[in-house]
Amino acid sequence: MDSTVAHLKEKLGSDKVVLGLSGGVDSSVAAFLLHKAIGSQLHCIFVNNGLLRKNEFEQVLEQYQGLGLNVKGVDASARFLKALEGESDPEKKRKIIGRVFIEVFDDEANLIEDVNWLAQGTIYPDVIESVSATGGPSATIKSHHNVGGLPDFMKLKVVEPLKLLFKDEVRRVGKSMGMSPEILGRHPFPGPGLGIRILGDITAEKVRILQEVDAIFINGLKEWGLYDKIWQAGAMLLPVNSVGVMGDERTYEKCVALRAVESTDGMTADWVDLPHDFLQKTSNDIINKVKGVNRVVYDISSKPPATIEWE
């Protein structure tokens, strides 16, 4: 680790570096390594796309700032939601989220004077996947940004300190730098966030409902000591209403699906047999506390063929 820091120090000298933080393990460890090497020459940008978990933007920002990182939070929620209005196709939603992210990031990176480098938390499996699928990460960015040429930050030199590491090695590097288990043990979370867990079109109200449901599920997993035994967990808001009864009233409200999987790399996954009393309590909590939801189901499908995300 010390030799990596020394190498980065020598490579970057007194140059400025910009990095997009996602709150995930990879970009966090990359940021800490670079921070060790070049301190405040590292400028981190954390964009709120409005599709993060409940309170995640504020909590993650506070956590990073508390650790001395030079990080700017940009709340672009309204811009993302506006761009997504009325769109229900999963791939189109991904493209819109990717495009708006690039626009927001580019605007922010341009505010930093004399920046020379773009840092990325790319890890080895990302390199393999993107080479075989799309011809490299820049191809993905380019396909998102097909009007008006390349964004300015794409003209920067690229530094990827984790490029040769697998996920467990990234976690080990983070641990050796004294990063908290809370950051290092975080479940993977997709870039498009809740945008691909709200099936169909996205509205602010649907985001609010799903954030509440997700928070009850994830906090419950933590309280019951189950979180660290699971690769990834989350909730999906389904595009169906179903009938329920509440006192003498008939309701016609939303259904949510909970999913928790075990995996080593996300390529294959098995559903987790969560304790029934946990599922029972979580379901009751969700239905009692989240207005607009009257039914909870648990996903018992493994991958393949059922992908981890529903979209």
Size of the site for ligand XMP (CB under 6 A): 11
Closest contact distance (angstroms) between CB of 98 and ligand XMP is 8
Query: Contact with ligand XMP (CB under 6 A): which of 50, 121, 161, 190?
Result: 190
- Cα 143 from chain centroid? 20
Residue nearer to ligand XMP on the CB measure, 191 or 244: 191
- What angle in degrees, to the nearest 10, is found between the helix axes of 25-38 and 2-12? 70
Contact window for ligand XMP (CB under 6 A) among 33-41, 71-79, 207-215, 301-309? 301-309
* 303 binds ligand XMP, rule: CB under 6 A: yes
Contact window for ligand XMP (CB under 6 A) among 111-119, 142-150, 185-193, 238-246? 185-193
Q: In whole angstroms, what is the distance from residue 44 CA to residue 62 CA? A: 13
Output b/e per residue, 219-242; b: 16+ Cβ within 10 A. Answer: ebbeeeebbeebbbbbbbbbeeee
The closest of 157, 121, 161 to 17, measured between CA atoms, is 157
Binding to ligand XMP, residues 235-274 (CB under 6 A):
266
| 20 neighbors 30 (Cβ within 8 angstroms) | no
Query: Contact with ligand XMP (CB under 6 A): which of 25, 192, 233, 260?
Result: 192
* 99 binds ligand XMP, rule: CB under 6 A: no
The closest of 232, 196, 235 to 213, measured between CA atoms, is 235
Query: Contact with ligand XMP (CB under 6 A): which of 55, 176, 280, 307?
Result: 307
* 308 binds ligand XMP, rule: CB under 6 A: yes
* 309 binds ligand XMP, rule: CB under 6 A: yes
- Name 311's Cβ contacts closer than 8 Å, sequence gap at least 6: 90, 93, 196, 197, 199
Closest contact distance (angstroms) between CB of 303 and ligand XMP is 5
For CA atoms 294, 55, 92, 309, give the dihedral sign: negative
- Cα 168 from chain centroid? 18
Strands 249-262 and 293-298 come out as parallel
DSSP string covering 164-213, please? Answer: T--HHHHHHHHHHTT--HHHHTPPP--TTGGGGTB-SS--HHHHHHHHHH
Residue nearer to ligand XMP on the CB measure, 117 or 189: 189
Contact window for ligand XMP (CB under 6 A) among 2-10, 62-70, 189-197, 213-221? 189-197
Q: In whole angstroms, what is the distance from residue 206 CA to residue 198 CA? A: 7
| 45 neighbors 74 (Cβ within 8 angstroms) | yes
* 115 binds ligand XMP, rule: CB under 6 A: no
* 33 binds ligand XMP, rule: CB under 6 A: no
* 143 binds ligand XMP, rule: CB under 6 A: no
Q: In whole angstroms, what is the distance from residue 21 CA to residue 191 CA? A: 11
Residue nearer to ligand XMP on the CB measure, 73 or 266: 266
Closest contact distance (angstroms) between CB of 266 and ligand XMP is 4
Binding to ligand XMP, residues 216-235 (CB under 6 A):
232
Contact window for ligand XMP (CB under 6 A) among 32-40, 157-165, 188-196, 276-284? 188-196
* 27 binds ligand XMP, rule: CB under 6 A: no
Contact window for ligand XMP (CB under 6 A) among 220-228, 251-259, 288-296, 300-308? 300-308
Residues that bind ligand XMP (CB under 6 A): 94, 188, 190-192, 232, 266, 303, 307-309
